[in-house]
Amino acid sequence: MLEITAQLLIHNIDRALVLGRNSDKFLAAKEEWQRRHINLGKDDKRVTFVQCDLGDIFAVKEAADQVRSLGVTTNYERSPQGVEMVFAANCVGHQELVTLLLPLLKRTANQHSESREARIVVTSSSLHSVCRTLDFNQLTTPTRVMPMHPYIDGFWRYCRSKLGNILFTRELARRIEQEGPNANNIYVNVFFPGNIVTEQWKAWDEYVGTTLGAVFRYVFSIIGQSTQDGAATAVYLATSDRIRVDGIRGQYYIPIAKPDATTDIGNDPVLARDLWVRILTFRPL
């Protein structure tokens, strides 16, 4: 995501907010941007770091309040709201954050001119295709779905969360389209950045073990995409005039900037709507 931010800065984005649990990687990225001659002054407001733990709805609300005022393990954990942590961080937190910021996005998209617009770009994965069913009751179980196979279970939970990202995008797009003129200038789409071997790929050791994790990294370092290729699709969805001209919403893209089909379950409007409603029940009373 920090490479995407770098590309947006190169394309003269007005403002970017980087959300994360802590600022360490953000500060390291700023040093890397400096080496690439992307200069940010001490008080440069083009990029702002916002601390946000997407696994905790309370933390998401605090981050959303801050905005308005201006990776995952095999350990089976649940969020403070009782949701399996991978799904909480990748899906529940995202839906809550966007829901809280949607009024601001509407105002931003409509307060200046007809050409003013807002874009929401969601990251998913081709691995969403691994998850062919979605049992809502399993989102809050106190133990693993596959207790005898922790690596398979951790891998499957990640794939399930990536399916959730696609369903969230579909339903958000539907809701935006239903709102009519007030949301005409908001475009939401989802993309798979590609198989990009970065430091974050070491987290796969926790899903599939160190040996298979090393094999994954080696193979995809040969056949996968570069960080620039991965960022290109996100930048296209965030900036291309074609998205506005063609009214593209709720679509799934793969490298580089190509629309693609998802699995049948990833294109199920009823399931997308039901998941949205179910996630709403995780909100604190």
- Which tens digits make up the pLDDT trace of 91-148? 999 999 999 999 999 888 877 556 678 999 999 999 999 999 999 999 999 888 887 7
Task: Tell me what pLDDT residue 20 has.
Answer: 82
Residue 201 belongs to some domain of the structure: yes
Write out residues in the chain with pLDDT < 50, as ranges: 71-72
pTM of the model: 0.75
Looking at the fold, whether 136 and 232 belong to one and the same domain comes out as: yes
Total domains, the chain: 2
Residue 123 belongs to some domain of the structure: yes
The domain boundary residue, chosen from 51, 66, 92: 51
Give residue 265's Cα distance to chain centre. 19
H or E stretch covering 251: none
| Residues that are catalytic | 158
Task: Tell me what pLDDT residue 113 has.
Answer: 58
What CATH code is carried by the domain that includes residue 228?
3.40.50.720
Report the distance separating Cα 15 and Cα 202, nearest Å: 31
Looking at the fold, whether 42 and 117 belong to one and the same domain comes out as: no
What residues make up the domain containing 103? 78-280
Looking at the fold, whether 164 and 266 belong to one and the same domain comes out as: yes
Residue 285 belongs to some domain of the structure: no
Residue 147 belongs to some domain of the structure: yes
Looking at the fold, whether 15 and 104 belong to one and the same domain comes out as: no
Looking at the fold, whether 109 and 160 belong to one and the same domain comes out as: yes
| 95 contacts 277 by C-beta, under 8 angstroms | no
Residue 60 belongs to some domain of the structure: no
Looking at the fold, whether 35 and 102 belong to one and the same domain comes out as: no
Looking at the fold, whether 209 and 261 belong to one and the same domain comes out as: yes
Looking at the fold, whether 203 and 118 belong to one and the same domain comes out as: yes
Residue 94 belongs to some domain of the structure: yes
Report the distance separating Cα 38 and Cα 181, nearest Å: 37
The tens digit of pLDDT for each residue in 12-34 reads 666 777 888 888 888 887 788 77
Residue 117 belongs to some domain of the structure: yes
Looking at the fold, whether 274 and 170 belong to one and the same domain comes out as: yes
Looking at the fold, whether 44 and 143 belong to one and the same domain comes out as: no
Looking at the fold, whether 29 and 90 belong to one and the same domain comes out as: no
User: Which residues are within 8 A (CB) of 2 and not within 5 positions of it... i.e. 6 or more apart?
Assistant: 18, 25, 26, 29, 32
Residue 223 belongs to some domain of the structure: yes
Task: Tell me what pLDDT residue 207 has.
Answer: 61
Looking at the fold, whether 6 and 82 belong to one and the same domain comes out as: no
SS3 at position 15: coil
